Amino acid sequence: MTKNMIMGGLAVFVLAVLSPFWFNMVTTTQAAPEPELLGPAKEARKCVLDKYDMRANHMSLLDEWRDAVVRDADRIYVAANGKSFNMSLSTGENSCLGCHADKAKFCDSCHTYTSVDPYCWECHTNPKEIE
């Protein structure tokens, strides 16, 4: 085997392995939507966790909150940044949706983009939708 054959083979291999990236580069993909901060959240700019932690871990946080609220009757969350929140997804001013006024632009835009369909909203009614 010649050196050229080996190098050629390697080049083909690398191209093939990285094909998903090439594919994404040539086809146009929709950019990930930025969650929009609207309502009181726009001014507050201080959430329960910092931005990146929130993006990655909000579902675990909600899970923890649910146990705290139903099992231990603890309903106030004093965050690491010193602000306190009502541990509730949708009830009251100081809950997630109380602050993030627009569920469609805050929750749904990313959930739709990433094809996740959380069943939170089957029971936790968006206060804006009721009216």
Partner 1 sequence: MMEKSRRSFLKVAGIAAIGLGAAPAMNFAASDSQGSAAAVKAKNPDALHAERWGMVILVKKINDKIAKQITHACHTQHNVPDFTHEVDTQKFPDTRPVNHNQEIKWIWKEKFHYAFPDKEDEFLNEKFHHLPFMVLCNHCKNAPCVQACPTRATFSREDGIVIMDYHRCIGCRFCMAACPYGSRSFNFRDPQPFIAETDPDFPTRSKGVVEKCNLCAERLAKGEQPHCVEAAEGAIVVGDLEDPASEIRKLLRENYSIRRKQSLGTEPSVYYIV
| Residue 58 found at the interface with partner 1 (CB under 8 A) | no
CA 77/CA 53 separation, integer angstroms: 16
| Residue 94 found at the interface with partner 1 (CB under 8 A) | no
| Residue 123 found at the interface with partner 1 (CB under 8 A) | yes
CA 52/CA 47 separation, integer angstroms: 11
Q: Which helix (H) or strand (E) holds 78?
A: strand 76-78
Taking Cα atoms as reference points, which of 61, 86, 89, 57 lies closest to residue 74? Answer: 86
The pair of three-digit structure tokens given for residue 59, joined into one six-digit string: 């579902």
| Residue 87 found at the interface with partner 1 (CB under 8 A) | yes
The pair of three-digit structure tokens given for residue 77, joined into one six-digit string: 């969350």
CA 24/CA 18 separation, integer angstroms: 10
User: Which of these segments, 12-20, 26-34, 80-88, 103-111, binds partner 1 (CB under 8 A)?
Assistant: 80-88
Residue 73 CB, shortest distance to partner 1, in Å, is: 6
| Residue 93 found at the interface with partner 1 (CB under 8 A) | no
CA 24/CA 114 separation, integer angstroms: 16
User: Which of these segments, 20-28, 34-42, 67-75, 107-115, binds partner 1 (CB under 8 A)?
Assistant: 67-75
Residue 71 CB, shortest distance to partner 1, in Å, is: 7
Residue 95 CB, shortest distance to partner 1, in Å, is: 10
Query: Using CB under 8 A as the criterion, which residues of the chain lie in contact with partner 1 when the complex forms?
Result: 48-49, 53, 66-68, 70-80, 84, 87, 90-92, 119, 122-125, 127, 130
